[in-house]
Structure 1
Amino acid sequence: MSNYKKVTHVLFDMDGLILNTEDLYTVAFQNIVSRYGKDYTFDLKQKLMGSQGHETANFIVRALELPITPDEFITETKEQFEALFPDAALMPGARRLIEHLHRKEIPIGLATSSSEESYHLKVDKHHQELFALFPYKTFGSSDPNVKRGKPHPDIFLVAAEKFPDNPKPEQCLVFEDAVNGVKAARAAGMQVVMVPDPRVDKSLTEEATVVLKSLTDFEPKLFGLPPFED
């Protein structure tokens, strides 16, 4: 218990944490780069998770030496996303946790590096009801106040400012799946629960306050939040 501090507000990443979209990003990017004889490896993916759209495009085009511009890459990804994202599935435990916190009137916010356009592609077909439980949403690739993507703290600081009672960073708990997201949360002065891809090296998860295999393993009472009733 001594490792954990009581929190009053909760911020959620979306991709790879609430929605199983990280696999879809991999498919989309591989579909594009394979046309140029390149591979979108997990090592490359790890470096990019949590980046804003333009940061991702710049990095992939440069790292893989693609014969297209970042803007052309973004255009191609939009076609891929429109085909893949509408059927994104929920990750285990996500619905239970979000609905529990909402029911217990714990202030929750969404802090995703996705653009607002990308968010709607992922949510509107199957998940509008669940995401309606988030009164505060921050879209890193669309919000002009989020100057830099993760691992910089910008998105979590901007997201926390949307809570009307203006909590301090240490009062906020972040849920993340990506190494860059954990670094961003810690840089913002917040505790962070990490649910990493099982391929992530354990040495890269050490900055997280706690590391879980799944959101189903989360125990709210560790952070002074109301416990599950079932």
Structure 2
Amino acid sequence: MGSMNCDPPPIRAALFDMDGLLIDSEDLYTICTNTILQRYNRPTLPWSIKAQLQGRPGPQAGAIFHSWAQLPISKDQFFTEQSELQRELFPRTKPLPGVMELLRGFREKGVHMALATSSHAGNFKLKSSHLPELFEYFHRDHQVLGDDPRIPPGRGKPAPDIYLLALKVLNRTLTEQGHPPIRPEECLVFEDSVPGVEAGRRAGMQTVWCPHPELLVEYTGREKEVLAGLTGEHKEDEEAELQHTEVEVLEGKRRVGMPGEIDDGWGKLLKSLEGFPYHEFGIGQSTLN
């Protein structure tokens, strides 16, 4: 593992996951899944399995789920029943505590924002179209979805690609406006999932982990491992081989693609987004663009 060897720099950009972080959709996913499991006399989804599904793109999450669930129906039938329930429930999503205040605070302090969600376009619309007051904080060009064609197949979270792409689209706007580009180490990734935290750390970015209380129970004693991106969620049999990337962080001390180290100061656990500690990330009253 390559060491960061220095304190993290002040934050200029915040990159957000969506499900279970900005909105309460993770609980709705659980309701949908358990409804189907109960229809076919299967046990409800335990957090040990849900933890592996969170943050991952549909194909990878589906493979893990079906291997565990052993449902007596085809995957196509499951998908049909799941989609029907999601169409009913997803338009009910609402912001999680502290989210609106945090987005407003970042805007006031000049922190640039982008969205990086594993949700595909159809589900994203179901979950977001009734919440314009939240998603207006993310310019359309700065919303990166799980089925974005610029993300190669098999390179969803926990690979770093989606966060590197989110930074790339932000920087395109900034350079057009004459501002200096943001470096990966100047980004703060917000995640609720363990694979998502690993994606942020592998992108060479600072990361906030704000997990569901039940997920935190599942990882009791392993919190530092999660914050460093060292839980091994990035499995070579499920992801394409790590490609060499031209992006380097910290003047070449560490290549993007590697996780962090225990207690390196680049990952922080927050149990809520309420009362966010801006000063701990070098975010003052007027962050420079």
Please tell me whether residue 192 in structure 1 is matched to residue 207 in structure 2. Answer: yes
| 2:157 counterpart (150, 162, 187) | 150
Residue aligned with 1:40, SS: coil
The residue identity in structure 1 corresponding to 2:276 is F
Structure 2 contact 52–64 (Cα < 8 Å) conserved: no
> TM-score scaled by structure 2?
0.73
One-letter amino acid of the structure 2 residue matched with residue 139 of structure 1? L
Structure 2 CA distance, aligned partners of 1:161 and 1:73?
Answer: 36
1:7-22 aligned at under 5 Å gives the runs 7-22=11-26
Give the match for residue 55 of structure 1.
60
Cα displacement string for residues 9-46 of structure 1 (whole angstroms, at most 9, x for unaligned residues):
11011111110111111001111122222221111100
1:171-221 Cα deviation digits (max 9, x unpaired): 111011111111111111111011111222233432421111100142112
Percent same amino acid among aligned pairs? 37
Matched, 1:213 2:213: no
The question of whether the paired residues in 1 share the 8 Å contact of 2:116 and 2:143 is answered with yes
User: 1:57–1:73: 8 Å Cα contact kept in structure 2?
Assistant: no
- 1:64 matched to 2:77: no
Q: Secondary structure at the match of 1:216?
A: coil
Alpha-carbon distance, 1:227 to partner: 5.0
Q: Select the residue among 100, 103, 106 that pairs with 1:98.
A: 103
In the alignment, which residue of structure 2 is the partner of 1:138?
A: 144
Asked if the contact 1:13/1:175 (under 8 Å) is kept, the reply is: yes
| Normalised TM-score (structure 1) | 0.90
Q: Which residue of 2 aligns with 1:170?
A: 185
> Which string of whole-angstrom CA distances, capped at 9 and with x for unpartnered residues, describes residues 149-173 of structure 1?
2211121111111112442211111
* Runs of 5+ unmatched residues, structure 2: 1-5, 175-180, 228-266
The AA in structure 1 aligned to 2:143 is K
Amino acid at match of 1:121: L
Aligned positions of 1:115-130 closer than 5 A:
115-125=120-130, 127-130=131-134
Contact (CA 8 Å) 1:92, 1:216: kept in 2 or not? yes
**1:106 Cα deviation after fit:** 1.6
Structure whose alpha-carbon radius of gyration is higher: 2
Cα 1:155–1:72, aligned 2, differ >3 Å: closer, same or farther? farther
In 2, Cα distance between the equivalents of 1:41 and 1:10? 31
Cα distance change on mapping 1:56 and 1:82 into 2, 3 Å: same
The alpha carbon displacement at 1:52 in A equals 0.9
Bigger shift: residues 67-76 or 146-155: 67-76
The yes-or-no answer on 1:45 pairing with 2:60 is no
Task: Rate the CA distance shift 1:204–1:77 in 2: closer, same or farther, 3 A.
Answer: farther
Alpha carbons 1:219, 1:227 under 8 Å: kept: no
Aligned amino acid, residue 144 of structure 2: T
Counterparts in 2 of 1:24 and 1:214: CA distance versus 1, 3 Å: same
Could you tell which deviates more after superposition, 16-25 or 146-155? Answer: 146-155
Aligned-pair CA distance for 1:3: 5.2
Runs of 5+ consecutive residues of structure 1 not aligned to the other structure = none
Distance 1:128 1:192 in 2: 26
Q: Give the counterpart letter for 1:203 in structure 2.
A: G
Matched residues in 1 for 2:156 and 2:24: separation?
A: 20
